[in-house]
Amino acid sequence: MSKEIELKPCPTCGAKVEFFEGDENHYGAIVCVGCGSIVMAENLDSDEELIEHWNKRPSPWISVDKETPKLGEIVFIVIGDLPEYDIGVLTDSGWITMNHSLSSSKDIKYFMRKPELPKE
C-alpha cells in the first residue's frame, strides 16, 4: 500500500518516488517510478529510518546553470524536461551526443561526471 509522505526525487534520474510501508512480513521500500531504483529497509530499524536515509542521499546530477563540464570531458547528460539521457562531450562548438541530435545547447539540463571505479 502506497503512503503519502515527503520524499526527495530519485538521485539517479530525478523522477518521483513512491513509499511502500513495511509490515511484519515485508520490508518497507522506496521505489523510483522513472528508473526503478529501489531501497528497502532490510538493514534499517524502521520505515522512518528508511525515509531519513533516502532523503539524505545526494544527487550526482549538476545543473548546467550552476556549472559546466570541462571541454572534452565525457559526461552523462539529461536532455529536456521529459527527461531523456545520453552521453555527451562539450566542445568549442557545442555539445556532441551519442544518441540525440540537439536543436540547442539549452536542451542540456544536467550532467553527471563518470564515477571513479574502485581500485582493487
- 52 with 88: CB under 8 angstroms? no
pTM comes to 0.56
Query: What domains can you pick out in the chain, each with its CATH number?
Result: 1-59 (2.20.25), 62-113 (no CATH)
The helix/strand/coil state of 90 is: strand
pLDDT tens, residue by residue, 4-21: 578 888 877 778 889 998
Pairing of strands 17-20, 2-3: antiparallel
pLDDT tens, residue by residue, 56-71: 877 778 889 999 999 9
